A and B are shown apart, each in its own frame.
Chain A
């Protein structure tokens, strides 16, 4: 970590670097890509939740004028295994490019057409006849686990279990309809024996869709010389290239993945989504193909994981946490997608930032006949924080301890390892809790009927596991700096933060540094833009590349000036030597000739592996989201009115304060939506609100009367200048802070999301009913 006494460049420039592009409409997204002779793709989706495909007749579609490619399972079967491997997935390769034997959810892709226009493609799709043999569909976790439930995947799974360290393990298909199970255990189960109390509680977590405004989109071109060019809205172009290479049996240097600005991802745009169909249709048509999903189709492409979380916690009379066992069931939908990874994280994060002697956690990915679930901001941590932070309050209430004190008594200290073999806490968590407690006026809460306050601490490991990042920086003769790295600008501010880190180290104005467009042919390797890793992981690679570049320039200059490197400093592309200012350009031209030269620096970062760490590598940084809510419950309607919402994250060191604030606030409002109303509603196999009109997301009018975000800069992060990641923390604490506030207000405990008026009303009625029963028994 570079320690600079003062940060000159960063404090003087607070604007985002992508501001001009984005406020003028000049920002180019994949939706803006057009190529000569480009065709347009559309797909036919299954109307059935679970069915065997008997027959597909696409002959009429192929005859329609303007249709250039039709893709069904019959077309897939024309290719040998050495030409095409038509299934994909993260850990488990279970999702076909188009359905082969069965369809597994309503919305599953059965056929695809590339035509002159989307209109013609849709017309052609309408002529395709598919005969289905309906099968029993299982659309909830309970249905899928029932003893008489049908097995969604009849073949054994093709997949891998990653290497785990101490106490952790994974298993493919541990039971029927469970594609992956993650387990973690530490300490002895005997710890439960000494507990004064053991509390078992169950929580339900609802499912959201990302609703990123830029749709899923890919433009693919399979050229006559068999090179594949892909322009796509993808958060991880290098893993995508690997997957495309595996599917289409092409060398990776024949595949170029290009990513421009992404119009929001929130986790959805990882790995294959629209890419395989676009590439396959282009392979058939030998013309570029644009495949852009509608917003409605987005709902059928990727979602968050609904979940059931069962927690058993052993505590002492004084509120000390001793032991916890938990079982989490994630609704993974019809294909595994990122589910095994989310299971790993949910299973690992369920303790929260507290100390226990014993932990035993299990997380299952349950396959259902619904849309595939995958990565979503918070990545399992949103589910676990909901359950964990609700239960902390429930235990505090049962023991007669204040929820604040319950947390203070059990929180891990700074530097204290999360679990054996792990890295230590890198924020003072108590400091953060005090901050939000003070802001919500915890000690002098408003005394009004049906009004209450609640606290919560969101928690997740950040920076990803086994995540390498590389960066390259070039400086031209004139001192114009080119930063090349694989971090995608999808709104999180990478295009601002990463060049600004370079500018600070090179001591040059920020406008001299540009983050170059991403093309896997030229961009240095990166695992992906996810896990809040841009600053903490890629930031370190960028920092090292800048230091490498800087030392090369200083060494060169010292040689030219016949002095020691320590005697000189870099200052806005000049050399400062004492009071003397010496221009660099003439020195470069003098040595390298009139055309000049480019210096370049390389940087690499990866957290070292350790088998002692449960996930095989100690966590890069810990991401916290402190939250506090002040609510009033309308007991007539059951509506929760959030009077004030406070969220806080720890940026370590904010590279750009506006960007940090934006991350926390955007995440918090996403969490607010999930808390109160936003949810995908399934009725059997039918998603009944799978469109932007009926799927309600937070709007400006949903903002609480008071909405406060507090960016902390505690300074202990592993990133440049002490920075840490910020992307996800803000969503984590919101739901549990509100649920805790509702309990504080009206004494009802909500354990299922969203906390809609009907649920609140029902809970209030049940409470009244229970009271009246007690009254009767006393009489």
Chain B
């Protein structure tokens, strides 16, 4: 039985074709070990805490709970792909930094990707909607209020940049 599979996908705006990966590898391990993308932090490995959240075709997904073979033909964005080409930060990153919406930082890349996906799908989220979305990831440090404020600030920043 063949233990590898061949995949094509887009990762952080770069196209990859016919990449051979073991069938038993998770997306989290693939990103960290094969692509050196260590910003995706693994924690619970159960798809519960959301530390490893990446964006797949616009949806926030736990990379620890996704097999690598599931990304065939898909578009994946990680925290490393969020910065602009000139090195400037995404408004969501900028907002988290500005408001100190993090402490230990382990959940932060996942929280930022989750927030980015939310704002892509809904540029004007209510506080309730933000709470609902953020409730899919665990932050053990902040108590969440500052994260919610950062998402609100990011929404404002995005709107301003588009105006």
Q: Which A residues are within 8 Å of any B CB, using their own CB?
A: 14-16, 18-29, 31-32, 210-215, 261-266, 294-295, 490-493, 656, 658-659, 661-663, 665-670, 691-693, 697-701, 703, 707, 709
* Bound CA–CA A213/B106 (angstroms): 6
CA distance A263 to B132 in the complex (A): 24
B11 at the interface (CB under 8 A from A): no
Is there an interface contact between A295 and B41, defined as CB atoms closer than 8 Å? no
Residues of chain B within 8 A of A665, CB atoms compared:
142-143, 145-146
Since A212-B104, A261-B104, A658-B99 are in contact, a sample of 8 more A-B pairs with Cβ atoms closer than 8 Å, ordered by chain A residue number, is A22-B105, A24-B39, A24-B79, A24-B83, A25-B78, A212-B140, A491-B141, A699-B138
Q: Does B61 contact A (CB under 8 A)?
A: no
Q: Are B46 and A693 in contact (CB under 8 A)?
A: yes
A656 neighbours in B (Cβ, 8 Å): 100
Q: Distance (Å) between the CB of B52 and the closest chain A CB?
A: 10
Return chain A residues, CB-CB under 8 Å to B48.
692-693
A25-B140 in contact (CB<8A): no
The CA-CA distance from A700 to B114 in the complex, in Å, is 13
Whether A211 contacts B140 by the Cβ 8 Å rule is yes
Query: A residues within 8 A CB of B131?
Result: 700-701, 703
Asked if B44 and A700 make an inter-chain contact with CB atoms under 8 angstroms apart, the answer reads no
A-B contact pairs, 5 of them (CB 8 A): A18-B105, A19-B97, A19-B98, A21-B105, A703-B143
| A700→B79 contact, CB < 8 A | no
CA A26 to CA B79, docked complex, whole Å: 9
Q: Which residue numbers of B lie inside 8 Å of A, CB to CB?
A: 37-46, 48-49, 51, 78-80, 82-83, 89, 93-94, 96-100, 102-109, 112, 130-132, 134-136, 138-148
- B96: chain A residues at CB < 8 Å are 19, 22-23
8 Å CB contact of A32 from B38, B80, B89: B38
Docked Cα-Cα span, A31 to B44, in Å, equals 13
* B40, B82, B104, B130, most chain A CB atoms within 10 A: B104
Q: Are A492 and B103 in contact (CB under 8 A)?
A: yes
Chief secondary structure at chain A's binding surface = loop
Instruction: Look across to chain B and name the residue whose beta carbon is closest to the beta carbon of A658.
Output: B100
CA distance A22 to B51 in the complex (A): 12
With contacts A20-B97, A215-B43 taken as known, whether A662 is within 8 angstroms of B105 at the C-beta atoms is no
A211, A659, A701: the one contacting B100 at CB < 8 Å is A659
Docked complex Cα distance between A492 and B48 (Å): 24
In the assembled complex, the Cα of A692 lies from the Cα of B52 at a distance in Å of: 14
Provide the residues of chain B in CB contact with A662, threshold 8 Å: 100, 103, 141-143, 146
Per a CB cutoff under 8 Å, which of A21, A295, A668, A670 touches B44? A295
Sorted nearest first, the 7 A-B pairs with minimum C-beta distance are: A25-B39, A263-B106, A491-B104, A491-B103, A22-B105, A665-B143, A669-B143
The one of A214, A262, A491, A701 in contact with B132, judged by C-beta atoms closer than 8 angstroms, is A701
A265 / chain B contacts, CB cutoff of 8 Å: 104
B46-A263 in contact (CB<8A) = no
Contacts of B98 in A (CB 8 A): 15, 19
Interchain CB contact under 8 A, B93 and A24: yes
A22 to B106, CA, bound (A): 8
CA distance in complex: A24, B136 (Å): 21
**Which residues of the partner chain A approach B99 to less than 8 Å between Cβ atoms?**
658
Q: Once bound together, how far apart are the Cα atoms of A700 and B148, in whole Å?
A: 8
The answer to whether A19 touches B100 (Cβ under 8 A) is yes
Q: Which residues of B contact A24 (CB under 8 A)?
A: 39, 79-80, 82-83, 89, 93
- A263, chain B: closest CB distance, angstroms: 3
Residues of A within 8 A of B105 (CB): 18, 21-22, 27, 261, 263, 491
Are the C-beta atoms of A29 and B41 separated by less than 8 Å? yes
In contact, A15 and B97 (Cβ under 8 angstroms): yes
Alpha-carbon gap, A22 to B141, bound state (A): 14
Most B C-beta atoms less than 10 A away, residue of A31, A214, A670 = A214
- A708 (CB) vs chain B CBs: closest residue: B145
A668-B49 contact given A15-B100, A23-B112, A662-B100, CB 8 Å threshold: no
- Residues of B contacting A668 in the complex (Cβ-Cβ under 8 angstroms): 143
Q: What's the Cα separation between A133 and B145 when bound, in Å?
A: 51
The answer to whether A22 touches B108, judged by C-beta atoms less than 8 angstroms apart, is yes
Cβ-closest chain A residue relative to B81 = A25
Minimum Cβ distance to chain B for residue A673 (Å):
10
A18 contacts which chain B residues (CB < 8 A)?
105
CA distance A15 to B93 in the complex (A): 13
Q: What are the residues of chain A within 8 A of B41 when measuring CB–CB?
A: 25, 29, 31, 213-214, 263
CB of B112 within 8 A of CB of A666, answer: no
From A496, which residue of chain B is reached at the shortest CB distance?
Answer: B100
Question: Assuming the A-B contacts A214-B41, A666-B142, A701-B131, are A490 and B104 also in contact, with contact meaning beta carbons closer than 8 angstroms in the complex?
Answer: yes
The interface residues of chain A lying within 8 Å CB-to-CB of B83 are 24
Chain B residues with CB under 8 Å of A659's CB are: 100
Closest to A119 in B: B24
The docked-state distance in angstroms from the alpha carbon of A616 to that of B137 is 44
Cβ of A210: which chain B residues have Cβ within 8 Å of it? 140
Residue of A whose beta carbon sits closest to that of B51? A213
Q: How far is the CB of A172 from chain B (nearest CB, A)?
A: 34
By a CB distance below 8 angstroms, the chain A residues around B107 are 213
Give every chain A residue within 8 A of B106 (Cβ-Cβ): 29, 212-214, 263-264
Docked pose: A219 CA to B38 CA in angstroms: 16
Shortest CB distance B132–A (Å): 7
With CB as the reference atom, state the residue of chain A lying closest to B39. A25
Contact A661 B146 (CB under 8 A): yes
Whole-angstrom distance between the Cβ of A32 and the nearest chain B Cβ: 5
* Bound-state Cα–Cα, A229 to B92, Å: 38
Q: How far is the CA of A167 from the CA of B26 in the complex (A)?
A: 58
Closest to B108 in A: A22
| Cα separation A699 to B48 with both chains bound (whole Å) | 11
Closest to B79 in A: A25
The CA-CA distance from A667 to B103 in the complex, in Å, is: 12
Closest chain B residue to A32 by CB distance? B38
Option from A211, A295, A669, A699 in Cβ contact (under 8 Å) with B46: A295
Report Cα–Cα, A750/B106, bound state, in Å.
Answer: 36
Give A699 to B132 CA distance when docked, in angstroms.
9
A15 to chain B, nearest CB (A): 7
* Whole-angstrom CA separation of A22 from B131 in the bound complex: 22
Q: How far is the CA of A667 from the CA of B140 in the complex (A)?
A: 9
Complex Cα spacing A667 to B144, Å: 11
**Contact at A262–B143, with CB atoms within 8 Å?**
no
Residues of A within 8 A of B143 (CB): 662, 665-670, 698, 703, 707
Q: How far is the CA of A263 from the CA of B108 in the complex (A)?
A: 10
Bound-state CA distance A666–B140 (Å) is 7
Q: How far is the CA of A263 from the CA of B42 in the complex (A)?
A: 11
Choose from B39, B104, B135 the contact partner of A26 (Cβ within 8 Å). Answer: B39
What is the minimal beta-carbon distance from A704 to any residue of chain B, in angstroms?
10
